[in-house]
Structure 1
Amino acid sequence: MKEMMSVILEGSLDGEMEEELGYSKYDFRNKETDNSRNGYNTKTMHTSYGDMELDVPRDRSGDFEPKIVKKYQNTISQDMEEKIISMYAKGMTTGDIESHMQEFMALIFRTVP
């Protein structure tokens, strides 16, 4: 369960970074910003399934502030865990769940100034 959750959350964080920068990971032709990806920081998250390591993307300017897993957050809410497990139990693949979360975060980015 921890592995599934980390794959989904890391993919969603990568999607957030893509939204923030405005271009996908290897799509330099569409880059319209001076900011770029700058690797990952490892973060330990406490879940009801035990501790798990997450690779959180970072940017060169240090402006990226993830919404799914905030900078100083070290626990995953029970509600988020249940939503992810519920989607998985309904037959969604980890890729489907990751995509769904990325689309949701894109909506949040568009509505928050």
Structure 2
Amino acid sequence: MAKKIEAGVRSADINNKLVEEILSQSNPKELFGKDGLFQQLKKRLVERILEDELSHELGYSRHSKASKQDSNRRNGTSEKTVIDDSGQKIVLDIPRDRDNSFEPQLIPKGVRRFTGFDDSVISLYARGMTMSEIQSHLEEMYLK
């Protein structure tokens, strides 16, 4: 059973605790650097969304034991370098399928500039949305 949040603890309090924890574990100058926490977080978040897109396309989740109806399956990943809003390069592992029919929606094939994502996530977070609400919102935006 999942742990329940203590009574009286608001999401803003949790967000502040998260910020304090991050700041206590690292040098604030390193958070925004080339290989800083925010770049790593962005990379992981984008790769996770792309994995979810492929799962939606194929009709089953990764490592699923359910029978797979189609002959098309996951076929590893391929590297793609994109440039974000700040001009920094991010090397992503883009999932692929055997039939090469998967067309990512978040970062379409042939696109090398990845703009607007940072602003979207930051604005959602600033509005008080939790990380799970942001994830749900991104799935709705990109998986439809």
TM-score range, shorter chain: 0.7 to 0.9
CA distance in 2, matches of 1:100, 1:6: 18
1:7 aligns with 2:44: yes
TM-score normalised by structure 1 residue count: 0.80
| Structure 2 residue corresponding to 1:27, chosen from 64, 67, 73 | 64
RMSD in angstroms over aligned alpha carbons?
1.8
Shift of 1:58: 0.3
Structure 2: segments with no counterpart, 5+ residues: 1-37
Counterpart position of 2:123: 86
- The count of residues paired between Structure 1 and Structure 2 equals 105
| Structure 1 residue corresponding to 2:105, chosen from 61, 64, 67 | 67
Counterpart position of 2:134: 97
Counterpart position of 1:18: 55
Runs of 4 or more above 6 Å deviation: none
CA distance in 1, matches of 2:56, 2:62: 11
More strand by share: 1
Shift of 1:68: 0.5
Q: Percent identity?
A: 32
Structure 1: segments with no counterpart, 5+ residues: 109-113
Q: Deviations over 1:41-65 (max 9, x none)?
A: 1111101331111110000111111
Q: For residue 47 of structure 1, what is the amino acid of its counterpart?
A: D
Counterpart position of 1:111: none
CA distance in 2, matches of 1:99, 1:31: 25
Counterpart position of 1:52: 90
CA distance in 1, matches of 2:65, 2:126: 37
